[in-house]
Amino acid sequence: MSQAAIIVASSDESVNAGLEMIRAGGNVVDAAIAAAFATSAGEPSITSLAGGGVMIHRDAGKGSVKIYDLFANAPGLEGTPGPIDFEGIDIYFPEGATTQTFHIGRGAAAVPGTLGGLCAVLEKKGRLPLGEVLAPVIRCLEEGIEVRDYQAACFSYLEGILRLSELGRHSFLDEKGELLAAGGSFSNPALAGTLRNLGGCEPEEARAWLRKNIEDPILDAFGPSRGGRITARDLESWKPEFREPLEFSFADARIFTNPAPSFGGPSIHQTLRLLAEAGAENGPAGSPLRYERLAAVFRSVSELRAEDPGIFDRDNSNELFSSRLRRNLDRPREEDGEAPPEPRAPGSTAHISVIDADGNAAGITLSHGEGNGFEIPGTGILMNNFLGEEDLFPAGLGSFTPGARLSTMMAPTVIEHSDGAVSVLGSGGANRIRTAIAQIVCGLVMDGLDPREAIEQGRIHVENGILSAESFAIEGCPESLTGALQHADELDEFNSPGLFFGGVHIAHRNTAGELAGGGDFRRNGTVGRTG
């Protein structure tokens, strides 16, 4: 009999792949990694195996929580001679009736970590062989999957980029050259073949196989001779980073999340610390006071990060954030010439949460940005555009150190509740990851909500003088946000659910060992269970 487990993701493909691993005797790591690979079928425009990710793992037997950083490195260790292929492309988002410029081209690619990182973590912490873990996604990619509304919407957001590559035109367009719509069939036989060959390798052979079949084509396609920045030394230098999590207390719970060089985990830490400092518990979930306190804190964290991208590394960062919060609580916001408001772009990130009846848990967040318009030749893998992601570079595009791990908002998180319950969660949504997760943690820990109730609460986000709010889920909006608007110049109302506010997927085990899952309806949250 298989272990009882809950898996939450944004597609049936990922959920079913994870469940298959649990039924086969695998552990939560096997399940999470199989589900992560399956995003290549279930969320193929949101992420790819040439992107980056972060995994959190709780080992209940050892009483430990670890972070596996599989994110991308900045290239350029051997310099970048010659012109760089790097350009902007305007993408229209009908959800927000806005246009955003993304930066693509061969020079937008950072050194990817997803494929090699997932293989490394599986070898280190999984039970099942790589070939078995890859089998579900290979079937999906070969046989094809029926495109559902969520996938079709994601395709439409990035159509302008997907059409640029041969792989994109082959996989995301129908025989008439039209973008795949709901009911169409998505497949990627080239990627299926790549993964089948990789899965046939013994563990000691996998590294050499990846070097020959993945890294060499990357160097040929995205090296300086082709207008890219990636060099042989860059590829040789990348490795997964196994880190201790950022650990802190909040409302009698222990929180574990992604540490520096991530922006996400430290942002969440400061947000929750300031919420406690601001007395957010005095206003229940959904109350005007709660939203006012959330807005003040979000404003404070956003302002300081914009002013000083290195703020989280300062020895006195706690006092700096606290001082800014006190100032902001004392006076309304005044227009000060900040950068214009961010468009309503959804953020291309996927998340998976897994927990079993013993409290072992794993969460993986993955992305490839929007893709850079090119594929790794012969592999069926679209390449990332992380160097063109403004969210990753608050000091400006190009402000990276060659060889360094790039910062990210990804923040897979584990909560150890005061009563012994355990939750694992994470989200997509670019800059909204930090505010979405913080609001969910408040709901779970401060308000005692169950996963579904926490997800259903209306969310807000404050940045660049704009208070974005889910008016469809906030009772009495906009009047109930009058206090919150003291910390913004204007209100941007969202009258229906969308991807902008993230997609927080929660897997939860209570003190009796009973399992529950919360799949975020904003991103097609899907819950599966075994046992």
Pair (153, 170) in one structural domain: yes
Pair (192, 296) in one structural domain: no
Distances (CA, A) of 263 to 239, 393, 408: 20, 10, 6
With beta carbons less than 8 A apart as the criterion, state whether 481 and 469 touch: yes
The per-residue pLDDT for range 45-75, each reduced to its tens digit, is 999 999 999 999 999 999 999 999 999 999 9
pLDDT value for 58: 98
Q: How many residues does the chain have?
A: 531
Instruction: Give the number of other CB atoms < 10 A from CB of residue 27.
Output: 22
Pair (143, 221) in one structural domain: yes
Which domain CATH number covers 322?
A: 3.60.20.40
Can you tell me whether residue 487 is helix, strand or coil?
helix
Pair (32, 134) in one structural domain: yes
Residue 404 in any domain: the answer is no
Pairing label, strands 466-470, 490-494: parallel
In the chain, the number of structural domains is: 2
In 405-462, alpha helices (H)? 432-441, 451-456
Residue 344 has pLDDT above 60, yes or no: no
The per-residue pLDDT for range 436-482, each reduced to its tens digit, is 999 999 999 999 999 999 999 999 999 989 999 999 999 999 999 99
Residue 331 in any domain: the answer is yes
Nearest to 507 by CA among 5, 154, 142, 2: 5
Separation CA 255–CA 426 (nearest Å)? 13
The two tokens of residue 359 are: 């409290």
In the chain, the amino acid numbered 103 is H
Q: Which helix (H) or strand (E) covers residue 470, if one does?
A: strand 466-470
Residue 430 in any domain: the answer is yes
Can you tell me whether residue 369 is helix, strand or coil?
coil
The two tokens of residue 469 are: 């709010």
Q: Which helix (H) or strand (E) covers residue 367, if one does?
A: strand 361-367
Residue 220 in any domain: the answer is yes
The per-residue pLDDT for range 224-268, each reduced to its tens digit, is 999 999 999 999 999 999 999 999 999 999 999 999 999 999 999
Pair (23, 107) in one structural domain: yes
**Residue 282 domain boundaries:** 246-345+411-530
The per-residue pLDDT for range 173-225, each reduced to its tens digit, is 999 999 999 999 999 999 999 999 999 998 889 999 999 999 999 999 999 99
Residue 526 is a catalytic residue: no
Separation CA 173–CA 90 (nearest Å)? 20
Give me the mean pLDDT over the 12-19 stretch: 98
The per-residue pLDDT for range 397-445, each reduced to its tens digit, is 888 999 999 999 999 999 999 999 999 999 998 889 999 999 999 999 9
The two tokens of residue 491 are: 């209100």
pLDDT value for 335: 56
**Radius of gyration for the alpha carbons in the chain, expressed in angstroms and rounded:** 22
With beta carbons less than 8 A apart as the criterion, state whether 253 and 417 touch: yes
- In this prediction, residue 3 has a pLDDT band, given cuts at 50, 70 and 90, of confident
Give me the mean pLDDT over the 370-384 stretch: 97
With beta carbons less than 8 A apart as the criterion, state whether 126 and 27 touch: yes
Pair (378, 427) in one structural domain: no
With beta carbons less than 8 A apart as the criterion, state whether 507 and 515 touch: yes
Separation CA 408–CA 258 (nearest Å)? 9
The per-residue pLDDT for range 138-187, each reduced to its tens digit, is 999 999 999 999 999 999 989 999 999 999 999 999 999 999 999 999 99
Pair (312, 423) in one structural domain: yes
Separation CA 204–CA 192 (nearest Å)? 21
With beta carbons less than 8 A apart as the criterion, state whether 210 and 116 touch: yes
Strands (DSSP E) along 263-314, which ranges?
A: none
Pair (165, 306) in one structural domain: no
Catalytic residue among 114, 231, 349, 365: 349
Residue 19 backbone zone (phi > 0: left; psi -120 to 50: alpha; other: beta): alpha
With beta carbons less than 8 A apart as the criterion, state whether 219 and 235 touch: yes
Residue 403 in any domain: the answer is no
Nearest to 122 by CA among 215, 221, 289, 240: 240
Pair (175, 288) in one structural domain: no
Evaluate the omega torsion of the peptide bond into residue 261 and state whether it is cis, within 30 degrees of 0. yes
Per DSSP, the residues of 168-222 read HHHHHB-TTSPBP-TT-EE--HHHHHHHHHHHTS-HHHHHHHHIIIIIHHHHHHH
**In whole numbers, what is the pLDDT of the chain averaged over residues?**
93
In the chain, the amino acid numbered 6 is I
pLDDT value for 79: 83
CA 67 to chain CA mean position, Å = 14
Separation CA 32–CA 14 (nearest Å)? 9
The two tokens of residue 390 are: 């403004």
Residue 34 in any domain: the answer is yes
Residue 346 has pLDDT above 90, yes or no: no
Q: Between 203-210 and 114-125, two packed helices, what is the crossing angle to 10 degrees? A: 170
Q: Between 189-199 and 130-143, two packed helices, what is the crossing angle to 10 degrees? A: 160
Pair (51, 136) in one structural domain: yes
- In this prediction, residue 332 has a pLDDT band, given cuts at 50, 70 and 90, of confident
Separation CA 57–CA 72 (nearest Å)? 20
Residue 357 in any domain: the answer is no
Can you tell me whether residue 109 is helix, strand or coil?
coil
pLDDT value for 491: 95
Pair (377, 424) in one structural domain: no
Pairing label, strands 253-257, 350-356: unpaired
Residue 265 in any domain: the answer is yes
Q: Of 45-49, 83-87, 305-309, 516-520, which range is least confident?
A: 305-309
Pair (192, 49) in one structural domain: yes
Alpha carbons within 13 A on the beta-carbon side of 284 = 3
The position carrying tokens 């169409």 is: 184
